[in-house]
Amino acid sequence: MRLLYKFSILLAVISVFSAQPAAAGTDVIRSNGVIVRFEKPLKSVAMEVAGIYPSARKELGTALRSGIDFIPEVILMSDRERFLRIAGNRLVVAVAIPGKNLIIIDNSEMKRYPYSLKVTLKHELSHLLLHDYVGGGELPRWLDEGIAQWVSGGMAEILTGRGRAGLEKAVLSGKLIPIRALASGFPDDAQLLRLSYEESRSFVEYIIKKSGTKGMLGILNNLREGDRINTAVIREMSVPLNDLETEWHDYLKRRFTWFVYFSSRIYEVIFAVGALFLIYGFIKVLIRKRAYKDKDEDE
């Protein structure tokens, strides 16, 4: 029911931006192999999108060794609440709709946060390219998101928690989310969602570390041929997905230790200890003053 609701909103947005742009206060740019629909005050942003698209397309083609042979459509929005009715989560600034080769970007957040429009565009374009390349084959969400982050160089959809602290804590506490649980979708909880993104990128980077870009692309080719993800991994890397995940966990445990965790936060620890001493000293002064006051009153 929720998916149907979101899809109906999406269709409404597309219809508003597609039908009679001038009458609706919107406009369109068709240039350099991309269609950009936008509210008229966002014309400069739309021109920037059209301008950076060719280089973003070229960089994606080089990284994934597959060209974009479709014309993507980018919708720029300035109304955050309207965007959220489509995205369904306050942590995202853009969404990709592979079945329609469509990208929707919330420009209001792009202005408030230090995000690169090109990084965001590359991230969303990679989703469209991956789904187009695999076709009707299986594409697990963790692989889709992991590659998108690897290609774009960042978690372009995440507003907060952009570092690896969430992954570190999950490794140290033994609370990593199983990769199989991230195959069909990510959790709605904010912290678990951030962790899902971090895990996806880390696992894809581990695959590339272990077998190179060739290995990751080989998995995609196997999926394109109709393999399920476990079969695709075995064919390319000669190891079942569960065993590969265990290897990755062991790698993370060697990389993230409590000593490294606290060493990287030594200044935070010193500050916290110093603050405790200040509080302790302040309390001692108050107690001493109270004792003197009581003594004077007794005399």
Residues 6+ apart with CB under 8 A from 86: 6, 9, 10, 13, 95, 104
The segments of the chain whose pLDDT lies below 70 read 1-24, 111-115, 154-165, 258-282, 284-286, 288-299
C-alpha 1/C-alpha 105 separation (Å) is: 24
Domain 1-134 has CATH 3.40.50.720: no
Alpha helices of the chain — where are they, by DSSP H? 2-18, 43-64, 80-87, 107-112, 117-134, 141-152, 165-173, 190-224, 229-237, 241-255, 258-263, 266-298
Residues 6+ apart with CB under 8 A from 24: 16, 17
Instruction: List, for residues 238-294, the tens digit of each pLDDT value.
Output: 999 999 999 999 999 998 874 444 454 444 545 544 556 566 556 766 676 666 655
166-185: string of b/e by CB count within 10 Å (b at 16+)?
bbbebbeeeebbebeebbee
Given a contact cutoff of 8 angstroms between Cβ atoms, the answer to whether 121 and 128 are in contact is no
C-alpha 119/C-alpha 52 separation (Å) is: 10
pLDDT at 34: 97
The two tokens of residue 153 are 């160089």
Write down the pTM of the prediction.
Answer: 0.79
pLDDT at 153: 82
C-alpha 29/C-alpha 72 separation (Å) is: 12
Given a contact cutoff of 8 angstroms between Cβ atoms, the answer to whether 163 and 129 are in contact is no
Domain spans of the chain?
1-134, 138-283
pLDDT at 259: 43
Indicate the SS3 state at residue 25.
coil
Q: Compute the half-sphere exposure of residue 159: CA atoms within 13 Å on the CB side of its CA.
A: 14
